[in-house]
Structure 1
Amino acid sequence: MGCIASSQRVDVITMSTSEDSWQNASGKETVLAALVRLDQDIEKSEKLYPAQRLAVVTAELESIQQEIKNFEETTNSITNIESYPKTMHQIFVNLDLYRRPILATENEDFVANVNRKEMRKLELNWLRVREKELQSDRRRLHAQLLRIRSLYTQLKQLLSCIWTDDERPGTSLEGACERARALRDALALVSARLRASAESVHTALRLLDDALPVWKLASVGKSGWERTRACSDACRLLVQARCSERDARRVLVATAAPRAARALRLAMDYAFTDTMHDHKFVR
């Protein structure tokens, strides 16, 4: 058997062994195209600063888990959201406060103590829901961070295919670049904290807006159960708003609560007896 001579001319491009191996591993992609692609992928991946957000989420999650541990030592978990209004309704029936609202003044401390315990159950439930949300966010951000590290590893391998550490040009600029990156990361961490805190504050404000019209129904309900149900719904929204406000302070590591938050908590303890007084005066 013979070989047929080819009339086509084939150009042969000489390349280094390392560059040839990179193209074979990356599907015949040129080194320049690979550099551009990796640089763009890294820029897109770092645009939302997942590393800094992961640090904020992790710190908040650890704080919430410690708070849940403290709550569980003294508070039982709530199994049904309807148990809160039913518990308060049963107390009002046993104390005959619906037919004799004047007795609410004599028993306001007792009712407030029961209400405080029930609201702590709501807080514990909110903390557990928030814990699950943060765990999901942490897994997602951790996956993004692993991808960024993989991209940097590929970039380092590609650069080593072109130059060795001693021969690579521009090494004097790498130190300045690292310092600029450290400053960027520090500013991004502050920005991530402020953004997370602002989101919690906005959530608290929305819950307050939802609670105000519900609170108005507590004093105009036709039956005792309607007034108690409306009051419990308003307190539930206010508890969530207070938890969101505390979450904003948790992100900023601000432990001291503002005076308005402390006043709101005290007012919520006596919300049900105050509702009885308001209904009495409305009549």
Structure 2
Amino acid sequence: MGCASSGMFRKRPQDVMLSPHILDTYIHLEKEIVREEQTAPAPALSHTLGRLDDLAIDLEAAQQRLSRFTRMPSGARDESLREVLIDLGVEKSPDVAAEHEEFIANINRQVLAQNEVDILSRRLEEAEEEVKMLTSKVNFLQGLYQQQDTLLGELFGEAYGSQEEKKLEDELDRLRSYRDTLAGGALDWREASTCVQGGVELLDRAVQVCKQLASQNAESRFHLATEARNCLQEAALSVQMAQALLPGVQFPYCSAREITTVLQAVVYMFTDIHIPDRLSHANRCYMTFWERTKALHKWINQTIETSLSKDLADVNQKMDEVNIKLRRIRVGLVRNQMDEEDVEAYEAAARKQSHASLFIDSAEGEN
């Protein structure tokens, strides 16, 4: 709405007829807007669009790394690795495994490169679906704003109903902007928490599997090692993504060096599983990373709860208070714009609805 030069509201144009139910319409719109705003769809959409761009860049880089290897069918990658291990007799002794470790590691690097492309492609698709959903929510909220502006425009033209209304609406706009800024930051932290939580769950499984490796025959050991490798790789990438979401934050756990160490150990997994000392060392590395990832997840959640959530709750409370004041003022202004007959009709309808509700409640109580 435009600005009014005085505290007096303008009378509605003579050709505009106000329905006795216009107050109900306004209050219903106001409540819908407040409900939709609580989910902060606009900052969520902005956040997800940014994540979509980052994923697209990461995927392109991963595809370029994969292109350095000879192409092979997706399902044949691990099977080819298994056949090489059998042909070389790697399971026969630690010395044979050590002799061929670089050759086997290079095959595994290709599998890991394809895995990374697959992981990023899946997450890109998930982000695209989220963008569609959030775009729909933002459009719906914008439609509610437009309906509210149209309704108030019919009542007051281009003027505010009063200076107090203008003051409160300006305050509400300021709070909305501040809330959206806070919500955007909180979304980055919550997304980082989700990434790290996913990493913890993957590491739970990887550590459990790694403990079984030494006691298995060669065939079972290969399949378990494949599962552990996939879990460890995606867990490390998940923590890496969390760090990318918060580039200005110094994480107290899981440094870039730690992530690199884990990913490097995974490269040599299929020879390490046949060399007891190396397997023991690798398992300690994975266990340490698992413990530190759990600590990181706890730290992120504590930061969210002690700082971001409190700030967001405070501004939401202030918005609620301003919304209530603004609603009361506008209800009063709408009443002033209605003819005496309109007010009487509205109050009669309200009483009728109230009596009907009481009758229904009484009937339900008897049943």
TM-score band, normalised by shorter chain:
0.7 to 0.9
Structure 2: gaps (5+ residues): 1-12, 281-367
Q: CA RMSD in A?
A: 2.6
1:278 Cα deviation from its structure 2 partner: 2.1
Residues 1:241 and 2:243 are matched in the alignment: no
Residues 237 and 280 from structure 1, CA distance in 2 versus in 1: closer, same or farther, beyond 3 angstroms?
closer
Aligned to 1:205: 200
- CA deviations on 1:22-43 (whole Å, 9 max, x unpaired) are x5xxxxx722111111111111
1:262 Cα deviation from its structure 2 partner: 1.5
Distance 2:263 2:14 in 1: 72
1:279 Cα deviation from its structure 2 partner: 9.1
Counterpart contact for 2:41–2:134, Cα < 8 Å? yes
Distance 1:87 1:132 in 2: 29
Correspondent of 1:132 among 125, 142, 150: 125
Task: Return the letter of the residue paired with 1:34.
Answer: T
SS at match of 1:102: helix
Aligned to 2:136: 143
Aligned to 1:261: 259
TM-score (norm 1): 0.83
Aligned to 2:46: 55
Counterpart contact for 1:219–1:279, Cα < 8 Å? no
Q: Which runs of 4+ in 1 moved over 6 A?
A: 279-282
Distance 1:279 1:98 in 2: 15
Aligned to 1:117: 110
Structure 1: gaps (5+ residues): 1-14, 24-28
Residues 245 and 16 from structure 1, CA distance in 2 versus in 1: closer, same or farther, beyond 3 angstroms?
farther
Distance 1:280 1:260 in 2: 18
Residues 167 and 40 from structure 1, CA distance in 2 versus in 1: closer, same or farther, beyond 3 angstroms?
closer
Report matched runs for 1:49-128 at 5 Å. 49-75=40-66, 80=74, 83-128=76-121
Aligned residue pair count:
260
After TM superposition, the structure 1 stretch with the greater mean CA deviation from structure 2, 83-92 or 37-46, is 83-92
Residues 242 and 79 from structure 1, CA distance in 2 versus in 1: closer, same or farther, beyond 3 angstroms?
farther
Distance 1:230 1:49 in 2: 43
Counterpart contact for 1:78–1:121, Cα < 8 Å? no
Distance 1:89 1:49 in 2: 50
Correspondent of 2:222 among 214, 225, 228: 228
Distance 2:115 2:131 in 1: 24
Aligned to 1:37: 28
Report matched runs for 1:175-190 at 5 Å. 175-190=170-185
- CA deviations on 1:33-83 (whole Å, 9 max, x unpaired) are 111111111111111111111111111111111121222223168854x54
Q: State, as a whole percentage, how many aligned pairs show the same letter.
A: 22
Counterpart contact for 1:101–1:280, Cα < 8 Å? no
Residues 140 and 213 from structure 1, CA distance in 2 versus in 1: closer, same or farther, beyond 3 angstroms?
same
Correspondent of 1:160 among 148, 153, 159: 153
